[in-house]
Amino acid sequence: MENYQELTAKQQSFFQSGKTKDVSFRIDTLTKLKELMTSHEQDIIAALKADLNKPEVETKRAEIGLVLGEINFMIENLSSWSAPKEVETPSTHAGATSFIVAEPYGSALVIAPWNYPVQLAVAPLAGAIAAGNCAVLKPSELTPHTSSLLAKMINENFPKEYLRVVEGEVETSTALLKEKFDYIFFTGSTGVGKIVAEAAAKHLTPVTLELGGKSPAIVHEDANLDEAAARIARGKFANAGQTCVAPDYLLVNRKVKDQLIAKMQETITNTYGENVSENHDFPHVVSERHFDRLQKFLDNGDLVIGGKSDKSRLFIEPTILDNISWEDPVMQDEIFGPILPVIVYDELSEAINAIVDRPKPLALYLFSDEEAVQDEVLNTISFGGGAINDTINHMTSHYLPFGGVGNSGMGAYHGQASFDTFTHFKSILKRSNK
């Protein structure tokens, strides 16, 4: 096992040299990272196929393309983000000027999950680099081919005192969390997020926690059902439902429920084929433990679409469960799989109250063209972020900070928010002696 105390000491020493604070050094590093992503594209595609059976088109779009877009955006804007910003000075401080200096924290620890093991590792790593930090990246042991590739890409091209990928099981994360980092960025479950926060608190280390939760999709009676069905199905069943912002359950007005489900069946067939089990590009569940957990949910409510599974291939087809109650096991925790439970409501207030009474979700999706309905939902329910008449695409915008609230997390990243997350903003008042 690598000596993590020695590793963090080396990174602290390298940071103190001041090299990472040079904006041109950061841009050169981001450019090299981009080149590595591009030159290893086929390796990334093969690794994700081996780990998750992820299709090439999805890997290019959601893993490689999104990360390259983030890096390019950072390179284009880094000089302006990192420049000191002059601000107003109160009249009581006549003769003084005020400005804010963007200062990197030092050494950052990034702990990444398995569901998007490239995107959710490299995107925050790029943010740490852009802000001028050294970093240690701990990828998930559940996607070993991808983790090994990330270690090869980073460790063979950057000095360990600057950037380092550390592979290993849960014990590795536990050992790393005992060390004194200047910032910790964690993506994963709420339960593990609490463990990370507790470990960080011992060193008073600031954290960003990108967690999960049961993200609802509300379909009101005035919704465009064709668009709603297509966009919910796409957001839910991409990556076999193993997406932190996937619609976790469907809240649909009773008047349009049957029509919506019928249209979702059409969308699933058009997207994945008549028999999804014969579609060799449909991603599989990450492990037997997760498969067994999901398999138990198939007995909840009434099976109206899908339900086939094959443990030997860790395969579960896109599934919709009707006549679900809030007490059913499938509604107790985040599903994180290709299973969509349906709950009906008659009045919008029922749906709103049900969501408000539960932990704050990471995402929320509303399908309605009525401004009054949109305003009521947005002004009443607290959630990390989301979309109106769409799903999941809010997290692909460089201009929208992405993160949770309450049980779904704290802090945000993407675009400038990634730079801001890994930056301490130092306030300075400068008084002249003239």
Q: Give CA separation, 353 vs 217, 326, 346, in Å.
A: 14, 13, 12
Spans in the chain with pLDDT lower than 50: none
Residue 76 is a catalytic residue: no
pLDDT at 433: 81
Distance CA(391)–CA(209), nearest Å, equals 22
Ramachandran assignment for 360, one of left (phi > 0), alpha (psi -120 to 50 degrees), beta (any other)? beta
Residue partners of 433: CB distance under 8 A and separation at least 6: none
Q: What domains are defined for the chain?
A: 4-211+409-431 (3.40.605.10), 216-396 (3.40.309.10)
Q: Looking at residue 334, what DSSP letter applies?
A: -
- The sheet with strand 107-111 has its strands ordered as 163-165, 134-138, 107-111, 183-187, 207-210, 409-410
Helices then strands (H, E): number in the chain? Answer: 15, 20
pLDDT of res. 168: 96
Is there a contact between 386 and 368 (Cβ–Cβ < 8 Å)? no
Segment holding 310, helix H or strand E: strand 309-310
pTM flag (> 0.85)? yes
Q: Is 133:182 a contact under the CB 8 Å cutoff?
A: yes
Residue 259 CA to residue 290 CA, distance in Å, equals 31
Across 105-248, the runs of DSSP E, i.e. the strands, are 107-111, 134-138, 163-165, 183-187, 207-210, 216-219
User: Beta strand 315-316 with 309-310: parallel, antiparallel or unpaired?
Assistant: antiparallel
* pLDDT value for 94: 86
Return the beta strands (E) in 162-248 as ranges. Answer: 163-165, 183-187, 207-210, 216-219
Whole-number Å distance between alpha carbons of 390 and 385: 12
Q: Is 210 an active-site residue?
A: yes
Marked catalytic residue, from 63, 161, 179, 210: 210
Per-residue confidence (pLDDT) for residue 246, from 0 to 100: 98
- By CB atoms closer than 10 A (0-12, 13-18, 19+), residue 77 is middle
pLDDT of 162:
98
* Closest to 385 (Cα-Cα) out of 213, 191, 237, 250: 213
Task: Give me the catalytic one of 134, 161, 179, 244.
Answer: 244
CB-based contacts of 408: which residues, under 8 Å, 6+ apart? 190, 211, 212, 213, 359, 360, 361, 362, 383, 384
Query: How many Cβ atoms are within 10 Å of 97's Cβ, its own excluded?
Result: 14
10 Å CB burial of residue 126 (0-12, 13-18, 19+) is buried
Q: What are phi and psi of 53, to 5 degrees?
A: 55, 35
Token couple for 229:
């069905």
